[in-house]
Structure 1
Amino acid sequence: MDTPTASFTQLVPGMIGMALVGSSVTVSHALVDAPLFTTQAVRYLAATVILLVIARLAGARPVWPRGREWLWLAGIAVTGLVLFNVAVVRGVAHAEPAVVAVAVACVPLVLGVVGPLLEGRGPSRQVLLAAPVVMAGAVLVEGTGRTDAVGVAWAALALGCEAAFTLLAVPVLRRHGPWGVSLHTTWLGGVMLTALGVTLEGPSAAREMSGTQWAAAGYLALMVTAVAFVLWYSTVRSAGAGRAGLLTGIAPLAAAASAVSGTGMPGPWVWLGIAVVIVGLVAGLRPRGATASARALAKAPLRTRA
């Protein structure tokens, strides 16, 4: 078993990133009627430009991929950026949105098991015990819904794509860092989505977007892609994929909070789910080293505490 790092500061970027992802739910509603592939292409291509500018200002110097790195980065773009969006859109045609959200809520357990193995370590018992708690809380927050077999299949694909977004980055994070992984996956995803948009929606589909939809795509490009990607991959690199995976439970909390302004106060089950997620996060992210030190101090003779 691996020992989780004791540094809480390593988790802060990922927490902010997941909060941005969750709070974007209300913004995404503006894109329901927009051309899917074209809108997402605009989002990721704009995010690429933003990342280039911010990386230069921050002094980061992304390097060009080589060899098998192209496969890992392209895999992130295909799964986490392209297929995930398709799975969500197609999935809600056969299932209520809560079904897809509940499937994605299983990500902490997948990352908790597979992530450490990719990093050459064993899964953390602390994370594995906390992951089902976070999942249960997310289910309570999101609720459940009706679906059919096709909807279940799309929900399962969404789960796999969401997990792949993190897991496929593990082998390339050491050399490329959060800036490089974010930059290369966004431009690769932007190119792929542009090709799909031109082929399936037509080269003039962007003209169908309203001003509100352009603004929504711009917000997603800046905050939910450029900023959130770098923050998330920073935590994955420093804290490990398994421990970072628990932070995905913050996204439904942020989504519920952002919905308060539009739909009123959440119901009792949502509040219960929020409490359960918080308990799971505290249990899974609590520094094990600090707990051991406290126990040792309590058992030590009084003269050693002076």
Structure 2
Amino acid sequence: MSSSTVPAAGAAAAMLLVGTSTAVSATIADYPVLGGQALRYALAAAILLAVVRHSRLPRARLTPRDLLLLLALAATGLAGFNIFLVEATRHASPAMIGTVVGAIPIVLALVGPLTERRRPAGRTVGAAAVVTLGAGVAAGLGGGSPHGVLLSLGALCGEVAFSLLALPLLPKLGPMRVAAYPAALAVPMLLAASLALDGTSSLRLPTPTEAAAFGYLGVLVTATAFFLWYDALRRLGAARAGLFAGLVPVGALVTTLVLGLGEVGPADAAGAVIVAAGVLIGMRQPGTTGTAGQEILPAQRSGTEEREVHREEH
């Protein structure tokens, strides 16, 4: 089994789980959106923090830089993403928003290596372009105003920040803490935004059906998917892990089929095939060659960084 097989499977599972949220979110359409997101993140944070507390993880002291990165991650990748997304739905069609946000594979393929002072790999960029095309085909181009497009771009930036701001934190804190801390920090941010936009009505208790939906979103789509994604990001790197973001519309497609919520058209099927092809192309890329001529995978590099941090702490 290749060293990239397990994190690749985790990244795929994470993005497919995120894709299922489309159908589940339909059951909470009448609940104030940002208040609901605060409930979702609160549940996920409680679960993740409990796991962190009961796990025998190495101690990690947060520096001011770590705190700033965590706050920025919570503000942009979680709270900011949701606020931009909610506002974008008022000015653009879901298809347009999905197409813009679906460009994340190509953005991570280009920007991810630059943050590590490396040149983007041509094959990964090409694969990301294929994945982005597939996501766009599956979503359809849709329509919307220029304001809606700008808000969609804001959501895309939040989605990119969700991964890139986590990269410098992962070697020291690990995927569990990086998933837990921003989720907890995002709760008061979303509550404040919800009160500002929706008033006190955003604080109402959910119905049993809504509570079940928030439970699914909090446990699987947030706590589980966040951990799987950050573990894959740490081991694969932003460019290769980003390819799997194109599976989000595929997850929505599968959920639609399983729950019988709609029909699948030729564009949906074609988009899913294109996304799968792009992921396969990107994951077949050889690793970086080291000085001794041996292949150095992102997982091996991150492991070395973790050992260096561990030595520094002790």
TM-score, reference length from structure 1: 0.87
Moved more, 172-181 or 35-44: 35-44
Q: Corresponding residue for 1:284?
A: 282
2:7 to 10, 17, 26: 10
Structure 1 residue 86 corresponds to structure 2 residue 83: yes
TM-score, reference length from structure 2: 0.85
In the alignment, the residues of structure 2 paired with residue 158 and residue 140 of structure 1 have an alpha-carbon distance, to the nearest angstrom, of 19
Structure 1 residue 22 corresponds to structure 2 residue 24: no
1:170 to 148, 167, 170: 167
Q: Corresponding residue for 2:50?
A: 53
2:142 to 133, 136, 145: 145
1:241-279 CA deviation, whole Å, 9 max, x = no partner? 011000101111111111123334411111111111111
Equivalent pairs, count: 285
Residue pair 1:44, 1:187 contacting (<8 A) in 2 also: yes
- Offset, 1:6: 6.1
Task: Name which one, 1 or 2, has greater alpha-carbon Rg.
Answer: 1
Structure 1 residue 218 corresponds to structure 2 residue 215: yes
1:79-129 CA deviation, whole Å, 9 max, x = no partner? 111111111111111111011100111101110111112223221111111
Residue pair 1:105, 1:139 contacting (<8 A) in 2 also: yes
AA aligned to 2:255 is S
RMSD over aligned CA atoms reads: 1.9
Q: Corresponding residue for 2:312?
A: none
Residue pair 1:43, 1:218 contacting (<8 A) in 2 also: yes
1:269 to 267, 270, 290: 267
Q: Corresponding residue for 1:300?
A: none
SS in 1 for 2:169: helix
Residue pair 1:6, 1:287 contacting (<8 A) in 2 also: no
Structure 1 residue 71 corresponds to structure 2 residue 68: yes
1:53-90 CA deviation, whole Å, 9 max, x = no partner? 23345433574532111121111111111111111111
Residue pair 2:102, 2:136 contacting (<8 A) in 1 also: yes
Change in CA separation of 1:119 and 1:80 when aligned onto 2, cut-off 3 Å: same
SS in 2 for 1:263: coil
AA aligned to 1:105 is G
In the alignment, the residues of structure 1 paired with residue 244 and residue 100 of structure 2 have an alpha-carbon distance, to the nearest angstrom, of 16
Q: Corresponding residue for 1:121?
A: 118
Residue pair 2:138, 2:268 contacting (<8 A) in 1 also: yes
Q: Corresponding residue for 2:304?
A: none
Residue pair 2:49, 2:177 contacting (<8 A) in 1 also: no
AA aligned to 2:149 is V
Structure 1, unaligned runs of 5 or more: 290-306
Change in CA separation of 1:60 and 1:28 when aligned onto 2, cut-off 3 Å: farther
In the alignment, the residues of structure 2 paired with residue 214 and residue 60 of structure 1 have an alpha-carbon distance, to the nearest angstrom, of 32
Structure 1 residue 130 corresponds to structure 2 residue 127: yes
In the alignment, the residues of structure 2 paired with residue 183 and residue 43 of structure 1 have an alpha-carbon distance, to the nearest angstrom, of 12
SS in 1 for 2:90: coil
SS in 1 for 2:64: coil
Residue pair 1:17, 1:231 contacting (<8 A) in 2 also: yes
AA aligned to 1:211 is P
Q: Kindly, what percent of the aligned residue pairs are identical?
A: 38
